[in-house]
Amino acid sequence: MPKWLRTLALPVVAFALVASACGSDDDNAGGTTGASGSGAECNSDIKVGLALDVGGRGDKSFNDAAYAGMQKAIEDGLVCEENTKFIEANATGSDRDANVQALADDGYDLVVGVGFAFSEGIAGIVEDYPDQNFAVVDGYSTTIATDATNLADLTFKEQEGSFLVGAAAALKCQCDTIGFLGGQTGPLIGKFEAGYTAGAKAVNPDINVLVEYIGDDVGAFNDAVKGEALSTKMYDEGAEIVYHAAGASGAGLFNAAVKADKLAIGVDSDQYLTASAEQQPLILTSMLKRVDTAVYNAIQQTGAGNFKSGFQVFGLAEEGVDYSKSNTEEMTDDIITKVDEYKQQIIDGTITVPEDPKDA
Which tens digits make up the pLDDT trace of 10-19? 333 333 333 3
Question: Which pLDDT band, with edges at 50, 70 and 90, does 40 fall under?
Answer: low
Amino acid at 240: E
Same domain, 76 and 130: yes
With a CB cutoff of 8 Å and minimum separation 6, the contacts of 151 are 122, 123, 126, 133, 134, 135, 136, 141, 142, 145, 309, 310
Same domain, 191 and 328: yes
The Cα 104–Cα 205 span in angstroms is: 50
Same domain, 270 and 296: no
Higher pLDDT, residue 188 or 29: 188
Strand pairing category for 310-314 and 84-87: unpaired
Please tell me the predicted confidence (pLDDT) of residue 86. Answer: 97
Kindly tell me if the per-residue pLDDT of 344 is higher than 60: yes
Same domain, 73 and 111: yes
Question: Which pLDDT band, with edges at 50, 70 and 90, does 22 fall under?
Answer: very low
Question: Which pLDDT band, with edges at 50, 70 and 90, does 239 fall under?
Answer: very high
The Cα 229–Cα 233 span in angstroms is: 6
Question: Which pLDDT band, with edges at 50, 70 and 90, does 307 fall under?
Answer: very high
List pLDDT tens digits, range 61-120: 789 999 999 999 999 999 999 999 999 999 889 999 999 999 999 999 999 999 999 999
CATH number at residue 333: 3.40.50.2300
Same domain, 151 and 164: no
Same domain, 282 and 351: yes
Amino acid at 17: L
Q: Return the closest-CA partner of residue 338 out of 285, 291, 293.
A: 285
Mean pLDDT of 174-203: 97
Global pTM reads: 0.81
How many domains is the chain partitioned into structurally? 2
Same domain, 7 and 144: yes
Please tell me the predicted confidence (pLDDT) of residue 19. Answer: 32
Same domain, 65 and 170: no
Kindly tell me if the per-residue pLDDT of 233 is higher than 80: yes
The Cα 336–Cα 334 span in angstroms is: 5
What residues make up the domain containing 344?
A: 158-288+322-359
Mean pLDDT of 144-158: 97
Cβ-contact 100, 50 below 8 angstroms: no
Same domain, 134 and 116: yes
Please tell me the predicted confidence (pLDDT) of residue 327. Answer: 98
Same domain, 142 and 8: yes
Please tell me the predicted confidence (pLDDT) of residue 218. Answer: 86
Same domain, 90 and 64: yes
Same domain, 131 and 200: no
